[in-house]
Amino acid sequence: MSLKDKTLFITGASRGIGLAIALRAARDGANVVVAAKTETPHPKLPGTIHSAAAEIEAAGGKALPLMVDVREEESVADAMAKTVERFGGLDIVVNNASAINLSPVEKLDMKRLDLMHQVNARGTYLVSKHAIPLLKASAAAGRNPHILALSPPLDMNVRWFAGSTGYSMAKFGMSMVVLGLSGELKGTVGVNALWPRTTIATSAIRNLLGGDNLMAMSRSPEIIADAAHAIFVKPSSFTGHFLIDDTFLAGEGVTDFDRYRMDPTKALAPDFFVPESIAPPAGATYGPLTG
C-alpha cells in the first residue's frame, strides 16, 4: 500500500525525524505540510521549512511549508485551513515537535518546564484536536486516516522520572493523548505512538545530549521514517499501540538493522523510556547496547 496523494501534516518537519518521515512519504508521491517554526536559517540547526519543502518535492512529493507554533491555537487552526485549501483535506498527522531539557527538578526553571509542556503534551493535544474533523472526513472518504505521536510507552517507572521529571512528564503527556484519542476515535482514526530503542542522530543529540560521540552511537532517523510508513499503510483499525521502532519493524519482516547505524564500529546507545519487557528483535543484526 502506498501513501500516494495522501496528505500528511508533520510538526517539526524542517529537520531530523520529522523531515525523514516526510521524505519517506514523498517517495510515494504524498503531499506533506511542513509545520515548523524555522523559517530562516538558524546558526546551530540545519534546515528551514523552505529547504525541507524543496527536499520533499525533489523526492517526489508535494510540499506546503508553513510556519507553525504548536503552542498557539490560532497558528494551528490557520495551518489546518491552509492545508485544506492547498490539498483538499488531511489524512495523517505526525506529532513530532518536541522540546527537551533533562535538568532535575531543583535546577529546571519554570519557563523551561512550561515550554516542554506547551510543545510536547499541549502541542500534541492542540494539533490533534484541530485535525480531528478533517481526519473524520478522511475516514468517511475511505482514505485510512492516522495520528502518530513520537512518544514513549506509558511505563510508570521511577527510573524514567528521577533526574528529569519535567521532561518525562511532558513526554509521557504526549503518550496520554495517544491513549485517550485511541479510545475516542476507535473505528475511525488509527492513533498510535512510536519510540526509538536507541538514540537517533538528530540535532538534539549533537547539540544538547552527547555531541559527535553519541551521534556515532546512534541510528539514523530513517529507522523511524520506515516504521512510521509501515504504520500509515496499515488499516486505521490498527490503533492504541505504543511501538518500539526495531521490534515493530521486525514484525513487519525487517531483519537488517545495521543499515540504520551511524557508525557500525560503535556500540548503540539506548534511548530513554524503553521498558525491559519490550525485547530487541530476535535474530536481527543488532549491535550491543551500552548502559
What residues are labeled active site?
167
Q: Rounding to the nearest 10 degrees, give the CA dihedral for residues 238, 244, 246, 248.
A: -20
Contacts of 46 (CB under 8 A, 6+ apart): 15, 203
Amino acid (one-letter) located at 187? G
In order, the DSSP letters of 54-76 are HHHHHTT-EEEEEE--TT-HHHH
d(CA 17, CA 37): 15
d(CA 201, CA 221): 6
Backbone φ and ψ for 285, nearest 5 degrees, come out as -80, 95
From residue 152, give the alpha-carbon distance in Å to each of 115, 195, 265. Answer: 19, 5, 27
Q: Could you give the 3-state DSSP secondary structure of residue 36? A: strand
d(CA 52, CA 34): 7
Q: Could you give the 3-state DSSP secondary structure of residue 150? A: strand
